[in-house]
Structures are given as C-alpha cells and as structure tokens.
Amino acid sequence: MSKQQKIYLTTSICVVLTGLMLSIFYRPYVYTNQINDFGFADTIGSLVSVIGFCFFAWSFKNYTDAQKNKQIFIATVIYGFVWESFGLIGIHGTFDWKDIVGAIVSGILTFLIKELIKRLIDKQNLVVKRNYK
C-alpha cells in the first residue's frame, strides 16, 4: 500500500468515524435542545458519504486524477440524487433537499481534500528528490 493510499484510508476512516460520532452524540443533543444549527445535524450522513466512499475506494487501487474526479461526480450523483430520490417513491427514508445539498458539498470537499493530499505528496516528493541530488 502506497503512502497516498494509506492517507486515503486514514482519511476515510476518520471522516466516517466523525460522522458516526456526530450522529450518535451531536444530532440527539441538537434535537433535544431544539437548537437551530441550520440543518447540519440533519445532513451529517450526506456530508460524509462521498468523502468516506471515495477515499475508501482509492485506498485499495491507484487511479488517475481524471478517474478520481469521475468517481467523485458519480458518487455525488448517486448519494445526492439517486439515493435521496428513493425517499420520494417510498423505498428508503424520506426525501430532503438538505441531503442533496449535503451530498453536493461532500463531493466538493472530496475534490478539495484530494487536491490537497496530491499537492502535499507532490511537494514532499520534490523535497525528497532535491535531498538526493
């Protein structure tokens, strides 16, 4: 497993665990105390869905940047529109526009985190190459 894949796996695990902890502790607290958090508690699952899935998938196989971008788009469409549409037809849960927005935000964050990791690794590789010359 490459260094980048280890970072992807760690990121995925941290994001999913954070989402679970927020769902277990934060969401009930907000609901019980009737705190207006602008829908954050309602969209925790959607906010972590694309990040958790994509980074987990990337931890097992090397993909090109273009492939990763395509996977982010597909995951965002599936989690944001397909999955949420199941609520409209009564297959799963309830339909909520906030979850669609949450999945789109998750897709954007996935892209930004991917780019950040890529730049940090490229920068580190450049430093390592300079030290060996």
pTM of the entire predicted model: 0.87
pLDDT of amino acid 12: 97
Domain boundaries, the chain: 3-132
pLDDT of amino acid 90: 78
- CB-count burial class (<10 Å; 0-12, 13-18, 19+) for 94: exposed
Residue 52 CB neighbour total at 10 angstroms: 25
How high is the mean pLDDT of the chain?
A: 91
Residue 60 CB neighbour total at 10 angstroms: 11
pLDDT of amino acid 130: 61
pLDDT of amino acid 128: 60
Q: Helix, strand, coil proportions of the chain in percent (round to 5)?
A: 80, 0, 20
CA angle (92, 8, 116) in 5-degree steps: 105
Closest C-alpha among 77, 71, 74, 73 to residue 55: 71
CA angle (27, 74, 68) in 5-degree steps: 100
pLDDT of amino acid 131: 59
**Ranges in the chain, pLDDT < 50:** none
pLDDT of amino acid 104: 96
